[in-house]
Amino acid sequence: MRILLIGQAAFAAKVLEDMTERGDNVVAVYLPPDRPGGRTDPFKDAAAAKDIPVYQPTTYKDDQVFAEYKELKPDLTVLAFVTDIMPARYFEVPTQGAICYHPSILPRHRGASAINWAVIMGATKTGLTIFRPDGGIDTGEILLQKEIDVGPDDTTGSLYFNYLFPMGVEAILESIDLIKAGNAPRISQDEAEATYEPPCDDRVAGIDWSKPARELYNLVRGCDPQPGAYAMFNDEKVRFYGAKLSEQSHDKTPGTILAIDDQGMQLAVSGGNLTVSKVRAPEIGKVAAAEFAAEKGLNVGDRL
């Protein structure tokens, strides 16, 4: 079976490594163009090491790009961490269609920030889906799904790197095997259950101290490691990481610093205390919260 692999970063590189190790015939890979002055994508490096042709189109809407794609005569196209919206015609070319990895239980949390939103919304379970893309945003028939628990202290980073990354690689391989065997399921998504959330960026990452403790804690966890939930101090965005929540009563105004020690910076929130172990701010970068407080002259009783 002639397989085209489209993706980027470490996830796609691992998929490629495991596919080739077990003998899958990957005839070409597609990934975004190189960033000026940036590091080479590990997916590109992995393909080059195996002498697999690499394509890096600036857009998939170009007819010449599509013509080159058709010339490769794929039997199956695999999308492993793809952020571009690809036209449906690309999925009609392979004889066995296409499959795509998405880190949520579709149709919940369609969109680019599925893991973030599951955490922000306080989900106790999430997972991954392998589905057949059809040109929409995470629409298309479901091939398989895997579910995981979301722990009370999990972050977007811990869920992805500890579970959804390795499970996703395995799920893609399992899906390829089902297609090869001719018994891959095709389950329609229930549109009545569908949700779509926007990208998790600074438009949603700002901390509103009037919100309940648990809601703020979920926001910080969901924005860790990117983009980093933030509060303002001296007109600068101060981003929080490695948070812990203690639901203890106090009479302090939310946002007030309650303590600064080796554990981090303890902040008053409505209905509890939020301790952040690390922060990131302009010119300082990501440092221990106590180091940041010392650098900025923050003391107990100050308010962010």
Determine whether 125 is exposed, middle or buried from the number of CB atoms within 10 Å of its CB (0-12, 13-18, 19+): exposed
Q: Which helix (H) or strand (E) holds 159?
A: helix 156-159
Token pair in block for residue 220: 């910080």
Is residue 208, in this structure, part of any structural domain at all?
Answer: no
Task: State the sign of the Cα–Cα–Cα–Cα dihedral 211, 217, 218, 221.
Answer: positive
Pairing of strands 76-80, 2-7: parallel
Average pLDDT, the chain: 96
Same domain? 268 vs 153 = no
pLDDT given for residue 249 in this prediction: 79
Q: Given pLDDT bands bounded at 50, 70 and 90, which one contains residue 283?
A: confident
Q: Percent of the chain scored above 70 by pLDDT?
A: 100
Q: Given pLDDT bands bounded at 50, 70 and 90, which one contains residue 91?
A: very high
pLDDT given for residue 37 in this prediction: 86
DSSP per-residue string spanning 160-195: IIIIIHHHHHHHHHHHHHHHHHT----B---GGG--
- Domain membership of residue 281 as a residue range: 213-296
Is residue 302, in this structure, part of any structural domain at all?
Answer: no
Is residue 204, in this structure, part of any structural domain at all?
Answer: no
pTM of this prediction?
A: 0.95
Query: Is 85's pLDDT higher than 90?
Result: no
Residue that is last in its domain, among 193, 228, 261:
193
Q: Which of 283, 260, 267, 263 is nearest to 231 (CA)?
A: 267
pLDDT given for residue 116 in this prediction: 98
Same domain? 151 vs 221 = no
- Is 149 strand, coil or helix? strand
Same domain? 274 vs 181 = no
Per-residue pLDDT reduced to its tens digit, 10-44: 999 999 999 999 999 999 999 999 998 889 999 99
Per-residue pLDDT reduced to its tens digit, 128-154: 999 999 999 999 999 999 999 999 999
Q: Which of 105, 68, 62, 104 is nearest to 84 (CA)?
A: 62
Same domain? 54 vs 133 = yes
Per-residue pLDDT reduced to its tens digit, 51-68: 999 999 999 999 999 999
Q: How far apart are CA 85 and CA 290, in angstroms?
A: 43
Same domain? 59 vs 144 = yes
Geometric angle at alpha carbon 223, from 216 and 8, rounded to 5°: 165
271: domain CATH number is 3.10.25.10
Q: Percent of the chain scored above 90 by pLDDT?
A: 95
- Is 150 strand, coil or helix? coil
> Which residue matches tokens 């697999």?
52
Per-residue pLDDT reduced to its tens digit, 178-226: 999 999 999 999 999 999 999 999 999 999 999 999 999 999 999 999 9
Report how many domains make up the chain.
2
